[in-house]
Amino acid sequence: MSSRTKVAVVQMTSRDDVDENLETAERLVREAAADGAKLAVLPECFAFLGPERGKLEIAEPLPEGGPILARCSALARSTGAELVLGGFWEKGESASHVRNACVHLGPGGEVRAVYRKVHLFDVDLPDGTLLRESETVEPGGETVVTDACFGTLGLSVCYDLRFPELYRRLVDAGAIALAIPSAFTLTTGKDHWHVLLRARAIESQAWVLAAAQYGHHLGNRRSYGHALIADPWGTVVAECSDGEGFASAWLDVGQVARVRRALPSLTHRRL
């Protein structure tokens, strides 16, 4: 295994047209793979971000999947790149709820791991944004790490970012990189996105791969964007500007070891 692997995080504006969203995701992943990326992370809600009832209609069982997973698997096979499907709508236990799943696909299109979002976003923001994720999403209950092309990758989704104890568990399970695909709102993102991502990288001494939704989706729902990659020192080494695109960087496994050796805070934990 090489100590340096090129990885990418995708930024896109998903709405309620699944085919259009998937076409955008496919185009951006192909561009990232052509640029040398061996793993690409798609944002939360990449296939659908629209009215609540819509995600119930398109949800698919895992790991067997349906047409959405089939297209994503075909994309992995055709590019030879691993994919992290940042927020995949998975059928839930009841017809009224789905799961917000983060799915790791191998380069052969196979499902390697599935994480179900633990922390659900129920908020009433000052700008009038009212979101009640728990009304249609059932939470997961387990942390998940997976074997990626560069080493152990910890999986999470969006609002999980605000709960550092989850990332402690991922690091304890061997994670050297953290996938944090998101659809951060414009209101919270402009103040908290960079601070929280850099904090998770610094305290975990791990790479952070944060794909992001950007722009206007529906109603007053707007996402902040700024998909980025941060190194184990907390330095942002690649970042998207406005609009759709991707950011890529060389993930250096050796840098994790060097940072953890120079500043062994993970071994100094008392609680």
pLDDT of residue 222: 93
- Domain boundaries, given as residue ranges, for the chain: 4-268
Pairing of strands 177-179, 111-116: unpaired
d(CA 200, CA 132): 25
pLDDT of residue 121: 84
Q: Which helix H or strand E contains 239, and what residues bound it?
A: strand 236-239
Q: Which of 191, 246, 217, 265 is closest to 7 using CA atoms? A: 246
Residue 94: CB atoms within 10 Å: 8
Q: Catalytic one among 72, 149, 158, 240?
A: 158
Please check whether the domain covering 4-268 is classified as CATH 3.40.50.1360: no
Q: Catalytic one among 6, 38, 44, 240?
A: 44
pLDDT of residue 94: 86
244 contacts 12 by C-beta, under 8 angstroms: yes
Instruction: Report the sign of the C-alpha dihedral through residues 28, 32, 34, 38, in that order.
Output: negative
Is 44 one of the annotated active-site residues of the chain?
Answer: yes
pLDDT of residue 220: 84
Residue spans of beta strands (DSSP E) within 39-191: 39-41, 82-91, 98-105, 111-116, 122-124, 130-132, 145-148, 151-155, 177-179
43 contacts 25 by C-beta, under 8 angstroms: no
Cis omega before residue 126 (within 30°)?
A: no
pLDDT of residue 129: 66
Q: pLDDT of 186-212, one tens digit each?
A: 999 999 999 999 999 999 999 999 999
pLDDT of residue 125: 66
Per-position pLDDT tens, the chain of length 271: 468 999 999 999 999 999 999 999 999 999 999 999 999 999 999 999 998 889 999 999 999 999 999 999 999 999 999 999 999 999 988 888 999 999 999 999 999 999 999 998 877 766 666 677 888 899 999 999 999 999 999 999 999 999 999 999 999 999 999 999 999 999 999 999 999 999 999 999 999 999 999 999 988 889 999 999 999 999 999 999 999 999 999 999 999 999 999 999 999 999 8
Q: Catalytic one among 6, 38, 55, 117?
A: 117
Is 190 one of the annotated active-site residues of the chain?
Answer: no
pLDDT of residue 39: 98
pLDDT of residue 134: 82
